[in-house]
Amino acid sequence: MTMELEAYIRDIRDFPVPGIVFRDLTPLLGDPAALAESVRRLAAPYRSMGVRAVAGIEARGFVFGSLVARELGAGFVPLRKPGKLPARVESASYTLEYGTATLEIHADAFVAGTPVLLIDDVLATGGTAAAALDLLQRLDAHVVGAGFVIELEALGGRARLDGHRVTSVVVL
């Protein structure tokens, strides 16, 4: 029987600001079977694609990204908030609902042509993932796709990742 992962996602209304329904994945993270199943499903579309590195977006993308890296026998590359990475970085800034944000990656994170999979927890408007994909492409990665635990379909994020394979475990 397929496991209903939706049951492990908790909706928190008006967090972090009024009007937002925050999809809280801590119940899923805390359940051994649900966590294992979500990682299996995140990794499944990419099993035979020779993924060498999984890039995860700070912070929840680190949790799922490193588990998917282990599942695929790949390494892990962090995409971080500004000022956290110690060596030379590439940066990409993007627009959020309120203000802007920046992501950084080490400029020498991988060699050109490396097959890389992007992982994050939630695909909402797609701004974060689009900036992350831009960074991977600036490093000449071979981007095999972008995988998310949750896709918030009504926000249309998938359209902003045009040209990439986009997969999600749960569509809400």
Chain positions contacting ligand AMP, by CB under 6 A: 20-23, 57, 60, 120-129, 157
| Minimum CB–partner distance for residue 83 and ligand AMP (Å) | 18
| Minimum CB–partner distance for residue 158 and ligand AMP (Å) | 10
C-alpha distances in angstroms, 75 versus 54, 57, 115?
A: 6, 14, 11
In the numeric block, which tokens belong to residue 10?
């908790």
Catalytic residue among 4, 6, 97, 153: 97
Q: CB neighbours (10 Å) of residue 111?
A: 10
Q: Which of 172, 95, 92, 81 is nearest to 126 (CA)?
A: 95
CB-based contacts of 139, cutoff 8 Å, min separation 6: 90, 105, 107, 109, 110, 112
* Active site (annotated) includes residue 47: no
Catalytic residue among 60, 70, 90, 165: 60
Q: Whose Cβ is closer to ligand AMP: residue 5's or residue 129's? A: 129
* Active site (annotated) includes residue 97: yes
| Minimum CB–partner distance for residue 91 and ligand AMP (Å) | 16
Catalytically active residues are 60, 97
